[in-house]
Amino acid sequence: MAQLEVGDRAPAFTLVDQSGTKVKLSDFKGKKVIVYFYPKADTPGCTTQSCELRDHRKELTKLGAEVLVISPDAPAKQAKFDTKYKLGFPLLADEEHVVAEKYGAWGEKSMYGRKYMGIIRSAFVIDEKGKIAGAFYKVSPKDTVPKCKAVLEA
């Protein structure tokens, strides 16, 4: 799948969060949204990335942004991750990676010489009109907040 670029319409989605509630991107119409994809809940990089967003949530809220997280984990695993780290934002289950594919966040990866398909750690800032205002592929867990804040402050 091709990667999204600034100005593209953000692909619509409806996914179930860690408590079993359906969450639609359209629920956030008129608001800025940070959507980020991580490979697996409660792993070192994903924990760093999620806790960074949790720790900067007040700043992001002041900039008018909501946070949505998407991974291929089941809702029960997302719930344990949320409880363990008190994240407090929707962790959405994309078990069939349909949404990740639409966002270009699903692709070939390589580890120890082995190639496989998986989540490409990515973050997106979506503006109030549903357009991509920032797209960051292969973003480092520590760079997610600064990159998203820079777009929100622009």
pLDDT in tens, the chain (154 residues): 589 999 999 999 999 999 999 999 999 999 999 999 999 999 988 999 999 999 999 999 999 999 999 999 999 999 999 999 999 999 999 999 999 999 999 998 887 888 989 999 999 999 999 999 999 999 999 999 999 999 999 8
Does residue 51 carry a catalytic annotation? no
Q: Is 69 exposed, middle or buried (0-12, 13-18, 19+ CB in 10 A)?
A: buried
Phi, psi for residue 90 in degrees, rounded to 5: -65, 125
Tally of domains within the chain: 1
Matching residue, tokens 């363990």: 84
Query: Which residue out of 23, 46, 93, 145 is catalytically annotated?
Result: 46
| Strand ordering across the sheet containing 91-93 | 22-24, 14-16, 91-93, 65-71, 32-37, 122-126, 132-137
Alpha-carbon span 51 to 45, nearest angstrom: 10
Judge whether 151 lies within some domain. no
The DSSP result for 66-107, as a single string, is EEEEEESS-HHHHHHHHHHHT--S-EEE-TT-HHHHHTT-EE
Judge whether 25 lies within some domain. no
Which CATH number goes with the domain that contains 76?
3.40.30.10
Range of the domain at 12: 1-17+43-117+127-139
